[in-house]
Each structure stands twice: as C-alpha cells, then as structure tokens.
C-alpha cells in the first residue's frame, strides 16, 4: 500500500471519529427535559448498559473460542488475531452507539415537545449518525492500520479475519 494512500485512509477514519465525537458532544448539550424525563432516561440508560455488560461477557467467550478455532483449525494465527481486532472494534462501536442512543432518546423527546419535529429529527438523526460514524471510522482505522502493519500479500487474511470478527459481533448486537 502506498504511503499516501495509507495516510489518507487513516486520516479519513480519524475524521469520521472526530466528527462522531463532535456530534456526541452536541447531543450532550441538548436539553434533557424535566426531572421525570431525566429519571426515566436514567433507568433506560442503566438497563441498556446492564444489557451490554451481560452481552459482552457472553461475547468474550465467543471471541476466545473462535480465536482458538480459527488459529488451530486454519493454522493461521494472523487471521485469528485479526478476528479479535475486528471483534473488539465492533464491540467498541456498539458501546459508543448505545451510549449516544440512550443519551439522545430523551433529548429527542424533549426537542419534539419543546420545538417540534424539525429539532427532534435533527437530534435523532445526529444520534444515529454517531453509531454509523463509529462503525465506519473504527472499521476503516482498524483495516488501515492492519494493511500498513502487514504485508499486502496478507490482504485476504486481513479482510477475512477482521471482517469475520466485526460482523460476528455486530450480529450479536442485532440479535440482542
């Protein structure tokens, strides 16, 4: 991979993650509503985070088992390691997305109550965009760093292992 292309890929990933952070910060500044709304939102956030903690405990077992199966079964520890990297970045994206989604829900409701559909849509759309930008940014950053760190002859291993890890963890998130 040419160095200019590698730099562009990593830069695009960082821009996506910085933009996601900026949207998350903007959402955090939107009014949460009255005390009752904040209380209910707190319960929702607490439940969502408890769910993620429980789900991630199960996912760790799956990650370890698949890491060993890929490493031993295919006799390819690079692909197995990349599976773990893809899985962990996918888990991180899911965590960031859930944090912002639970933060954005009450703010969307308050924006709809206070200012109508236009502001509510802006808050909701930006809340969802954070998850998309995290998935894209972390995936691109992970693959970009992997491509730079490994020889181009291992591109198939990179995409196969990394993609399997990322997509299997995303599947867990969807099922949950």
Q: Which helix (H) or strand (E) holds 112?
A: helix 77-115
Phi then psi for residue 23, to 5 deg, are -65, -40
Distance from C-alpha of 39 to C-alpha of 36, rounded to nearest angstrom: 5
Write down the pLDDT at residue 146.
82
Q: How many domains does the chain have?
A: 1
Write down the pLDDT at residue 154.
66
Write down the pLDDT at residue 2.
67
Distance from C-alpha of 167 to C-alpha of 170, rounded to nearest angstrom: 5
Write down the pLDDT at residue 67.
94
Distance from C-alpha of 117 to C-alpha of 130, rounded to nearest angstrom: 20
**Structural domain boundaries enclosing 116:** 3-175
Distance from C-alpha of 147 to C-alpha of 144, rounded to nearest angstrom: 5
Q: What is the pLDDT along the chain (176 residues), one digit of tens a residue?
A: 567 877 888 899 999 999 999 999 999 999 998 999 999 999 999 999 999 899 889 899 999 999 999 999 988 888 899 999 999 999 999 899 899 999 999 999 999 999 989 999 999 999 999 999 999 999 999 888 887 777 655 677 678 888 888 888 877 766 65
5 token code pair: 């292309």
Write down the pLDDT at residue 175.
63
Write down the pLDDT at residue 145.
83
Percent of the chain with pLDDT over 90: 60
Write down the pLDDT at residue 167.
85
């Amino acid at each position: 991979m040419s160095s200019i292309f590698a730099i562009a890929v990593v830069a695009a990933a960082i821009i996506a993650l910085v933009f996601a952070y900026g949207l998350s910060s903007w959402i955090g500044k939107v009014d949460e509503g009255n005390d009752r709304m904040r209380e209910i939102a707190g319960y929702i956030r607490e439940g969502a985070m408890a769910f993620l903690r429980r789900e991630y405990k199960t996912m760790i077992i799956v990650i370890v088992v698949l890491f060993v199966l890929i490493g031993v079964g295919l006799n390819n520890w690079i692909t197995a390691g990349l599976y773990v990297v893809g899985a962990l970045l996918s888990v991180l994206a899911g965590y960031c997305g859930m944090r912002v989604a639970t933060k954005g829900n009450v703010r969307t409701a308050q924006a709809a109550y206070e200012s109508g559909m236009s502001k509510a849509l802006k808050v909701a759309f930006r809340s969802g965009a954070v998850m998309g930008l995290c998935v894209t940014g972390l995936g691109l950053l992970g693959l970009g760093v992997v491509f730079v760190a490994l020889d181009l002859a291992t591109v198939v291993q990179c995409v196969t292992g990394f993609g399997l890890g990322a997509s299997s963890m995303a599947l867990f998130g969807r099922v949950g």
